[in-house]
Amino acid sequence: MHLNHPLPDPAADHSLPCGADLDELQAFGAPPPAHERCPHCLDAVDALHTLENLVRGALEQDERAQTSALWLTDRIMRTVRTELRPGPLLPMGEPDEDLWITHAAATRALRRAVDTLPGITAGSCRVTAVTADGERRPRGGRLPRGPVRIRLEIAISLGQVVAEVAAAARVVVADTAADCGMDVREIDIAVIDLIVTAPAGTREDKRSDGH
């Protein structure tokens, strides 16, 4: 038995009856040398050309049809908003008060505040309880009343001093959390991405991961 020679895969046979490779025909758009008058090749080139024209025409229609799909966004979001995920309630105000804010509302306010800083975009934001014995998971949909820890991920534009940007984000998070009436014990800022902004007038940005 010659186990080193597996049976040929029919799907891997990309050749026409004349032996020309279909993928190469598509890539070059013309028969290979010595096949210029081959009926198989000429026929295949014609069919590929027709197919390419159909695809090109359809793609042009796609571009024109993009705006006609905008209403679908509204339809999808109407359904999504019936299934919001507000997250646990976070304590606001004094320990003996009964004031709460949803995790989604609080983190949205924090992200929006950080987004106003030049060269920073906020990502994930999580608020957890801080207790003497460490973090506690929410019970009954609420964090225990008391101080909280905020962890915010940010992406920053390349060329900025990371420590300065992180410090600015920390200040904004602290101020906004205070405005929300939250007792913040710790703020963790994690730079998860560096954004390389392309020269003005282009939209080709490059990104690189960074921590």
Pick the binder of another protein from 30, 34, 54, 99 (CB under 8 A).
54
Window 163-182: contact mask with another protein (x via CB under 8 A): --------------------
C-alpha span between 149 and 177 (Å, rounded):
11
Q: Report the nearest approach of another protein to the CB of residue 84 (Å).
A: 6
* Site for another protein contains 24 (CB under 8 A): no
Q: How far is CA 170 from the centre of its chain?
A: 24
* Site for another protein contains 77 (CB under 8 A): yes
- The SS3 assignment for 120 reads strand
Pick the binder of another protein from 5, 8, 33, 66 (CB under 8 A).
66
* Range 36-44 contact pairs with CB under 8 angstroms and sequence separation of 24 or more: 40/16, 41/16, 44/16, 44/20
Given CA atoms 13, 14, 16, 20 in this order, what sign does their dihedral have?
Answer: negative
Pick the binder of another protein from 23, 96, 98, 133 (CB under 8 A).
23
Pick the binder of another protein from 61, 96, 161, 211 (CB under 8 A).
61
| Tokens standing for residue 63 | 């571009």
Q: Report the nearest approach of another protein to the CB of residue 204 (Å).
A: 7
Taking each helix axis from N to C end, the angle separating 162-179 and 103-115, rounded to the nearest 10 degrees, works out to 140
- The SS3 assignment for 186 reads strand
Contacts with another protein by CB under 8 A lie at 9, 11-12, 14, 22-23, 26, 43-44, 46-52, 54-62, 64-66, 68-70, 72-73, 75-77, 79-81, 83-87, 103-104, 107-108, 111-112, 115-116, 121-126, 153, 155, 192-193, 195, 197-198, 203-205, 207
